[in-house]
Structure 1
Amino acid sequence: MIQASDLEAGLAAAPAAAEADGLAEAGTEQPLLGLLTDGVAVAPLEQLGVSRDKVLAQSADAGSPLT
């Protein structure tokens, strides 16, 4: 079972990811991408069909400034 403390690192990475992408604040993609880089969340998210590549592709399709 995933504990809340296990997810903190991925969520904490969101502001840095937004800054690296040239954004003033994190959108919905950055926390999700952070969770996909944190080992404990990767497997459950991938079992649900969520992957880093799919998030990036959807962001590009939606015109997000992320890509």
Structure 2
Amino acid sequence: MAAIPTSAVNFDDLPDSALVALDVVTTVTGVSKATVWRMVQRGSLPAPRKISLRATRWHVGELRAFLAA
């Protein structure tokens, strides 16, 4: 079993402008990586931002709004 990412453990303490990786999104939503991407395709989960050629991140504020809905 993989360790829980530090950003997921401290999710409530992160500013809304913070960016988090897919492993944090799967931890806070409780769904698999594949389900996260399906939800993004359906538009039910906020789309991530491509911050470099090989890095995609989600805004914490958008994830909080999704989780609160």
TM-score (norm 1): 0.30
Comparing both structures, which one devotes a greater share of its residues to strand?
2
TM-score (norm 2): 0.30
Comparing both structures, which one devotes a greater share of its residues to helix?
1
